Structure 1
Amino acid sequence: MAATAACGSCRREKIGEKAAETPAEPSPTWNTLEDSSWKSAMGGQLTIPEPGTLRLQWGEGLSAAKWTGAAVLPPFELELEARRIDGTDFFCGITFPARSTGESVTWIVGGWGGSLVGISSIDDKDASENETTLHRPFKKERWYRLRLRREGERIDAWIDGETVIGIDTAGRKLSLRPGPIDSCAPFGLATWQTTGEFRNLRWRTL
């Protein structure tokens, strides 16, 4: 794990070369991801502590919520804020459709002990094993601004405006990590043995 963490800065430099700047704002209108269209899929309870905020309670393993509103399809851009309330594993897992042919993947934020960021799965390697793997600290109860963009064969992602993922997936196998995360597909949110909150969720077609 130390070796992986040590090369994180190297990966950031390489990512920065590809996508150093946050892309210019495209023109399509933002769509709000309404509270009423999220349904509990498994694990801990899904609640709405206040309008516009979703909370996934700690579960024995995965806690998941699935979007039941209008389909979110690529190419798209997604924004939200997320935070860890309790627990030490990922407080935000965003499962999203990566291709029109039906493949979905998951953007993990704060996993594998609390610090890992990455995409599961690329060529059957999960977020801790492929070139999107990155480690960074996350503080409990602090909101983080997350931005995800899927356009063409690129996946780009930012945390608080900093590029954390920038990858071309052309010719790569994209899939979900085997296990219960498929309860979120094609679009959903999840935590692992952690209580997480989400607010200001919105998306738009590119």
Structure 2
Amino acid sequence: MNRRGWLHLTLASLPVACRRAPEAQAIHEEEIPWQPLEGHWQHVMGGPLSTPEPGTLRLQWGESLSATKWTGPPVTPPFEMELEARRIDGSDFFCGITFPSRESGECLTWIVGGWGGSLVGLSSIDDKDAAENETAHHRTFEKERWYRLRLKCTADRIETWVDGERVIDFAPPGRKLSLRPGPIDQCAPFGLATWQTTGEFRAPRWRPLQP
């Protein structure tokens, strides 16, 4: 038998598993189950935290920041979370979501309705707060209207949506991410806050994403 025939016979006799690797089964994001954020909220400062009805949290107006911190199983990046929020009273941000923005521990706060009631943005990027960096965006928020808020955080992108409209699309690599100096650090690594405003939150949930 010549060399070519011997090689053909050898390859033909190899087990199928050696000749063809099985295809990897990718998990689509929509298949990842959501985990509710319920029952583990601790009031940390400002106006009192209450539950006006099942599944709804209320942070009452305070002299400055009112805040609650999640004490349940940790929310870790990469992740996606969503909730509904509304302003009951006041004229500043009715929802500030502090979250871990990197696996190394840095946190950011997504501000919704701040600086007079209309600002949306991330605090802080390169030591600039939500009103001063490129994530700043202004829109009108009506009192007592529920808004669906969605946040997606990965190593390459931080994205946010309000009622299905993407309002922030930020690339964090190479940027300094931190919390604005002050009481907001009481919310870290994951928490909710308002500023001189009564806000309500319902149906908060999150899910881990594949890195």
Which range, TM-score by smaller chain? 0.7 to 0.9
Alignment check: 8 A CA contact 2:113 2:141 kept: yes
- Say whether 1:30 aligns with 2:34: yes
Deviation of 1:202 (Å) = 0.4
Aligned to 1:20: none
**Counterpart amino acid of residue 49 in structure 2:** L
Deviation of 1:27 (Å) = 1.9
How far apart are the structure 1 equivalents of 2:184 and 2:85? 18
**Counterpart amino acid of residue 26 in structure 1:** E
Match of 2:161 among 158, 162, 172: 158
Aligned residues: 182
TM-score of the two chains, using structure 2 as the length reference: 0.85
- Counterparts of residues 91-106 of structure 1 (less than 5 Å): 91-106=94-109
RMSD: 0.8
Deviation of 1:26 (Å) = 2.9
Deviation of 1:101 (Å) = 0.8
Deviation of 1:187 (Å) = 0.2
Unpaired stretches in structure 2, ≥5 consecutive residues: 1-27
Secondary structure, in 3 states, of the residue corresponding to 2:184? helix
- Say whether 1:187 aligns with 2:203: no
Aligned to 2:151: 148
Alignment check: 8 A CA contact 2:155 2:172 kept: no
- Counterparts of residues 1-206 of structure 1 (less than 5 Å): 25-34=29-38, 36-206=39-209
Question: Larger C-alpha radius of gyration, 1 or 2?
Answer: 2
How far apart are the structure 2 equivalents of 1:128 and 1:152? 23
Moved more, 177-186 or 24-33: 24-33
Q: Percent identity?
A: 72
